Amino acid sequence: MTLYGRLDASVGSTSTETTGAAPVAKLSQNGVSQSALNTTFWGLKGSEDLGGGLKAIFKLESGFELDTGTASNTLFEREANVGLSGSFGQVTLGRQYTSYYSSYGGTEMLWNNNFAVSNTVDKSGLATNGTRTANSVRYDTPSFSGLTGSVTYGFGEDKTATADATDNISFNVSYANGPVMATFAHQENTLALNAGTTKFNLFGGTYDLGAAKLNGRYQTTSNGTVDDKMYQVGVTVPVGAFSYGVGYANEKSSTSGMADLNSNGFGLVGMYDMSKRTTLYVGYKSTKVESAPAAISTAKASSFQAGVRHTF
């Protein structure tokens, strides 16, 4: 069994303001923050050799607020699963990442850290797909000359006599060979009270030039009434112990009979590895997100942070 985790704290400034139909005055705040670069958490994981190449595996992972010491509302909301792995691949049961999110995270700008702005920009339209799913079964294939796949089903377990369960299913197919990685993923979420289904599609990839790594992703989300289209691009550059990155995201959300919503944002970050486990960083991100409960408002936010990340 392994005890592991990540601690991230920073000092910096944040600013928020809403303009348009429902304005909110600009507010700036300075102080100590947590998880500016990567989310803080701790976890337990382990495996048992059952013979013949078969292993039993488990993972328990919990987030908390490093700047206050406050625990998450659910103890192991990040991951809580157990399963088997072997030559056939891996099967896990419990709370875990969706197969769709595995492709999402693998193509996210800025090493998939929290200076990436995709998760904020895509809030202008439909709700995001959800990073994890509970009450789920996930299967990951072994690699076939660089080709891999995964499928996850979350049972929902809230079916009633008049409403279907709010279940979800996702899958991905990825290919990685040398400097190239390409992936496709799909997810469907059944909505509450027989309200239909939200469907997500993702096409993305990365290309490692050695001196720099490029990534890009295109997503569509639709529930039959609202249609969202989003793209993001990024580049990261390693220079010895230093590394730098910049990324941009843009989304257009369309609803019949209403004006389109357009949102965008960018992030940039620089890091210095003091060791394999300790990193100093400085980063900035800025987003503009449109919403229209009645008429269009634009939520503007920016953050500058300098901090330290330590893993164990």
The pLDDT tens digits of the residues spanning 234-272 come to: 999 999 999 999 999 999 999 988 999 999 999 999 999
**Ranges of each domain in the chain:** 2-311
Distance (Å, rounded) from C-alpha 33 to C-alpha 11? 6
**Residue 164 pLDDT:** 87
Where is 103: in which H helix or E strand? helix 99-106
Tell me the CATH number of domain 2-311, given options 3.40.50.970, 2.40.160.10, 3.10.20.30, 3.30.300.30: 2.40.160.10
Strand partners, 296: none
Structure tokens of 175?
């290919």
Output the CA torsion 164→168→169→173 (10° steps).
160
Output the CA torsion 62→63→68→69 (10° steps).
10
Nearest to 124, CA basis, from 297, 302, 267, 303 = 297
Distance (Å, rounded) from C-alpha 113 to C-alpha 43? 19
Distance (Å, rounded) from C-alpha 31 to C-alpha 236? 28
Task: Please list, in sequence order, all residues whose beta carbon lies within 8 angstroms of the beta carbon of residue 54, skipping any fewer than 6 positions away.
Answer: 84, 85, 86
**Residue 294 pLDDT:** 73
Distance (Å, rounded) from C-alpha 251 to C-alpha 124? 8
- What's this model's pTM, rounded to 2 decimal places? 0.95
**Residue 127 pLDDT:** 77
Ranges in the chain, pLDDT < 70: none
Where is 245: in which H helix or E strand? strand 242-255
176, 146 Cβ separation under 8 angstroms:
yes
228 C-beta neighbours (distance < 10 Å), count: 23
Q: Exposure of 11 by Cβ count < 10 A (0-12 exposed, 13-18 middle, 19+ buried)?
A: middle
What number of residues does the chain have? Answer: 312
**Residue 261 pLDDT:** 96
Distance (Å, rounded) from C-alpha 193 to C-alpha 216? 36
**Residue 110 pLDDT:** 97
Q: Exposure of 152 by Cβ count < 10 A (0-12 exposed, 13-18 middle, 19+ buried)?
A: buried
Q: Scan for tokens 């990261």, then name that residue.
A: 236
**What angle (nearest 5°) sits at the alpha carbon of residue 173, between those of residues 167 and 179?**
140
Looking at residue 111, what DSSP letter applies? G
Output the CA torsion 105→111→114→117 (10° steps).
-70
5, 41 Cβ separation under 8 angstroms:
yes
Structure tokens of 276?
């394999």
**Residue 293 pLDDT:** 74
Distance (Å, rounded) from C-alpha 272 to C-alpha 172? 33
Distance (Å, rounded) from C-alpha 62 to C-alpha 282? 25
Instruction: Please compute, for residue 160, the number of CA atoms within 13 A of its CA located in the half-sphere on the CB side.
Output: 5
Written as one letter, the residue type at 283 is: G
Distance (Å, rounded) from C-alpha 35 to C-alpha 244? 18
